[in-house]
Amino acid sequence: MLIHNKNFNIQQIADSGQCFRMNQLEANRYCLIALGRYLELIQREEAVIELSCSEAEYEELWKDYFDLEYDYHHLVETLRTGKDSFLQSAAEYGKGIRILRQDFFEMMISFIISQNKNIPSIKSSVEALCRRYGTPIIAAVGKEDSYYAFPTPQQLARATKEELRELKVGYRDEYILQASRAVADGLLDLSHIQSCSYEEASKALRQIHGIGEKVANCICLYGLHHIEVFPIDVWIKRILEEVYRNEFDLQLYEGQAGIIQQYMFYYMRSMKEKV
């Protein structure tokens, strides 16, 4: 089915560092494994996207997943006509980015893995976890066993440190186990966390070994859709120092700082690639 939206660009979302299981198949064509399903996306035109799903499935799942009720256009226009020249450029450059509403547990584990790794490396570790512990997804005839859902907390909680080391997650093995067991054992109650404020959710998450401020912020932003949260990684830190001389005023963007952060991150990384 077709989606019409000026602020929905698959390539930009896939390369924005918020999701690790969206991959390019060919020009303008991507695949995604999320919500226990396999989806293909084609960028037909700048504002036209084709999804390989029924209208019913779109209404039930993907409309929410891609945050299609939110008006990104308004924010982009505000930034493009605003006073901040870096954000003018960043918003124009990444205007097709949206903050996905991804699975909480998947974000928890993915961002625990993300620490001190680059994005390709994170993706390969996440994929390895899915293949080893996740449930196969039947995507099409002849493609059985090609795709795997992200493991459930129960599936991952049964892993051992030795197995995880084989998947090249390094010293994060214990972090992954503790986090998975905390959720599987109910110490970390998803439905409760989902009803919490950002501050409460972040505090609860940081109780887990291997989840510090930055990783907790990413989980809150991408897994709980607290779009007011502004995660600071090495790239954002560099921007705050080099572009803003540590005088960036977060208050100006209260309530949407997470989206601003995403435009900054994507723009800065793209600049470096072109050098």
Partner DNA sequence: ACCCAGGCCTGGA
Partner DNA sequence: TCCAGGCATGGG
Number of H helices, E strands in the chain: 15, 7
Cβ proximity to DNA, 11 vs 121, nearer residue: 121
- Residue 139 has a CB neighbour count (10 Å cut-off) of 18
Separation of alpha carbons 188 and 182, rounded Å? 5
> Is 214 annotated as catalytic?
yes
Q: Cα dist. 269→12, 111, 119, 148, 275 in Å?
A: 12, 18, 11, 29, 10
Closest CA to 260 of 245, 239, 275, 242: 239
- Per the CB < 8 A criterion, the answer to whether 112 and 176 are in contact is yes
Smallest distance, DNA to C-beta of residue 55, A: 30
Smallest distance, DNA to C-beta of residue 153, A: 19
Separation of alpha carbons 152 and 108, rounded Å? 12
Separation of alpha carbons 129 and 149, rounded Å? 10
* SS3 state at 240: helix
Catalytic position from the list 123, 168, 214, 237? 214
The residues of the shown chain that bind DNA, judged by CB under 7 A, are: 16-18, 111, 114-122, 165, 168-171, 209-216, 218, 231-236, 261-262, 265, 269
Smallest distance, DNA to C-beta of residue 122, A: 6
Which residue type occupies 193?
I
Cβ proximity to DNA, 17 vs 96, nearer residue: 17
Cβ proximity to DNA, 77 vs 166, nearer residue: 166
Smallest distance, DNA to C-beta of residue 170, A: 3
Smallest distance, DNA to C-beta of residue 250, A: 13
Cβ proximity to DNA, 30 vs 263, nearer residue: 263
* SS3 state at 44: strand
Cβ proximity to DNA, 201 vs 216, nearer residue: 216
- Residues carrying an active site annotation: 214
